[in-house]
Structure 1
């Protein structure tokens, strides 16, 4: 495990330092200012910053002092159900782990606090937000090697728990194949208070072939065996894909789509740039 973790860190370090941390910083900036303390009023101070309660209590004019709020809280909410960990011979998990590691190292490189929640149909592991390389390695180790107890996917508990954990506005990346359907209401509510980003991990093999006919498949989460018409399954996958794009757009959730085995660095940099362009269009900047 230690050697795998070291190789993953080395693989991610250069693109993070030379590309992604800059792209990340341009997109996820601090949210304005936050209150620090009060001090006595001085001639020339903005009277709009007057703290009238302290002024009344002390009999001396005081104003509020604020500092720019730079530090952010970043959460990775990662689906570790069987369809995520066992799909495509382990390549799906490897892609998920690399993407999560790139986000983690970019956030830590920017001085932000990063937390991790692994979930199936329950909360499997929680790592509270913190800073520093060792904390980042702890998150990366969990992404690479943690073995969950559950096999199925349910979003309601993890999204509810995140809503309770994140008291201030935070940035969250929900990484999943979104094959469950219990997340829309909770996602909509959270998107009003937080910066939500969904990463849809797309399978790239097998069912994307041009072959038709019936095949026998085993559902990785339920363990059930059934016969599937490949052509109908492909159409169903396309409809699911289109519906997910529409659902996320309607709810103000930024959607990133990543194929298993795809270049995570290019995909993440492209996602950051697309968000930046959209933000510039919205603000007219």
Structure 2
């Protein structure tokens, strides 16, 4: 394990075990529950628990009630493709590893089961569920050191193969840059899926670069081109349209998501996602 990763793990462990906000030890709200019954909506109920099918049939809002299970199954699926080997502050791959460490440490702290997965077009690695810090460290090191150049993260086929291998209903974090076409519908039917989008600001807001030599990190294809203001604007417009389609897909399947840039602290962004509890 290199010194940079050791420093990252020490910092992340301190954040999770020393800086946790709130007294409730359950961090992944909304999962780890068995269905109990339906009842009519009352003021103060979580609107995410509304059963819209029953509500439409009865013309009154109804919510699902659950019994809490003793432990959660938390899965971090790291989508490892060549596009992660990019970043102006630090490469996206390092941020993906840090997010996985935060989730793994948080699960262990709460006494929940943590499973790490490395996915591209295949499920390259699927750890056994664990409550041990050593196993979390080993998985994060695997994510940080994974060879991503020449590989493509497949958010459709790769994740469909992961679906077949996950037997237990879980809180499933899909972590990647989401620059490829996405289909999380199947996963969302069985699991509570949360998308963690890792991006570099430059790839969303590129500046004109003039004459450049570009290399596709997934295929190795090269291109000599003049990347001027017009090209930057066209690229930016394409990213915006792609992200609009991504957000529509996530909202359609009621998937929570958060975007973390390479110049941001992942811990703070995840705390905000969970309303002060990570």
* TM superposition score normalised by structure 2: 0.76
Query: Gaps spanning 5+ residues in structure 2: where?
Result: 36-66
Post-superposition Cα deviations, 1:146-180, rounded to whole Å, max 9, x if no partner, equal 33585122233432233223223201111111122
Does residue 222 in structure 1 map to residue 223 in structure 2? Answer: no
Distance 1:15 1:2 in 2: 20
Name which one, 1 or 2, has greater alpha-carbon Rg.
1
Does residue 236 in structure 1 map to residue 238 in structure 2? Answer: yes
SS at match of 1:125: strand
SS at match of 2:195: strand
Structure 2 counterpart of 1:174: 174
Structure 2 counterpart of 1:111: 111
Post-superposition Cα deviations, 1:212-266, rounded to whole Å, max 9, x if no partner, equal 8775422211222233521100111111222211210111111111111211111
Select which of 199, 202, 206 maps to 1:205. Answer: 202
1:29 Cα deviation from its structure 2 partner: 6.0
Query: Gaps spanning 5+ residues in structure 1: where?
Result: 35-66, 277-285
Q: CA RMSD in A?
A: 2.9
Distance 2:25 2:195 in 1: 16
1:137 Cα deviation from its structure 2 partner: 1.2
Larger deviation: 3-12 or 166-175?
A: 3-12
Native 8 Å contact 1:21 1:110 kept in 2:
no
Distance 1:245 1:199 in 2: 12
Does residue 81 in structure 1 map to residue 78 in structure 2? Answer: no
SS at match of 1:106: helix
Native 8 Å contact 2:163 2:187 kept in 1:
yes
Structure 1 counterpart of 2:58: none
Post-superposition Cα deviations, 1:88-144, rounded to whole Å, max 9, x if no partner, equal 475212211111111111111111111111122222222121111111111121122
| Equivalenced residues, count | 241
Distance 2:174 2:21 in 1: 20
1:78 Cα deviation from its structure 2 partner: 0.7
Structure 1 counterpart of 2:120: 120
1:17 Cα deviation from its structure 2 partner: 1.6
Structure 1 counterpart of 2:133: 133
Structure 1 counterpart of 2:72: 72
Larger deviation: 200-209 or 241-250?
A: 200-209
Select which of 223, 241, 246 maps to 2:248. Answer: 246
Q: Which has the higher helix share?
A: 1
Select which of 256, 259, 265 maps to 1:257. Answer: 259
Structure 1 counterpart of 2:274: 272
Distance 1:171 1:188 in 2: 15
Distance 1:224 1:14 in 2: 42
Native 8 Å contact 1:199 1:256 kept in 2:
yes
1:24 Cα deviation from its structure 2 partner: 7.2
Distance 1:110 1:243 in 2: 35
